[in-house]
Amino acid sequence: MTDRDTTTTAAPVAAGTDWAAWQRSWDRQQEWYMPDREDRFRIMLDTVEAFVGSAPRVLDLACGTGSITARLLDRFPEAVSTGVDLDPALLTIARGTFAGDDRVTFVEADLTDPDWPHRLPHDTYDAVLTATALHWLRKGPLTSLYGQIAELVRHGGVFLNADHMIDDTTPRINAAVAIRDRARRDQAMRDGALDWADWWALAAQDPVLAEPTARRFEIYGVHADGEMPSAAWHARVLREQGFGEARPVWASPSDTLLLALK
């Protein structure tokens, strides 16, 4: 593996902010949508260990608040992680959470920019991990991104993508799952859970996060116009873009964890 002679500039983070509380708040909001979220993180890290060991060099792709990185380092203290994202608010939380931890580097970059890999501190990674993020991209940009990821993963390394992957060939199953999920979310909201909009409204009122939250909505809008192709589509495109094998290794009724092996 070759290290690049690059530097990344982290935005300053406010002292005294309860970053752990913001992490917990983000986790609860995400679990409103994905009650099996921790299960898929566990399987993701099980797979990393099986293929590349317990001290991996990891790229946390579209890292958000660093949810994957936090679980990675809790389980594998000798791991190192590069988190890359464009969202200034979530990166503020991530940088605050991991301030002073030299195992972690954060890079602000747009994954639709062809040059984003050149901003990373390493040329290759043992594992590239991402969760609930790439559905923000349409198929064309996602295909290009998969080619770039294939170049970043070393031979024998892995890419793991946990996300919504919709199979349009099963419309009745999809409809039943959607009804079940809506009922569960409605009950969770009655019990006090925050949804996506409520969480961001809370962030916008925080004196530290208000400005980066305003900037993130300038970048993304309310939600990006992405796509959620099937797991079969993801596996086929990953093989076409340079991975030797690819298939799901875990699934819930609405989400899939897909493994690609270089």
Which of 257, 256, 252 lies closest to 36 in space, CA to CA? 252
In this prediction, residue 87 carries a pLDDT of 97
* CA pair distance 117, 154, nearest whole angstrom: 14
When mean pLDDT is compared across 131-135, 172-176, 183-187, 247-251, the lowest value belongs to: 183-187
Give 80-104 pLDDT, tens digit per residue.
999 999 999 999 999 999 999 999 9
Task: Please say whether the beta carbons of 49 and 78 come within 8 A.
Answer: no
When mean pLDDT is compared across 4-18, 154-168, 228-242, 243-257, the lowest value belongs to: 4-18
pTM: 0.91
Angle at 51 between CA 50 and CA 56, to 5 degrees: 100
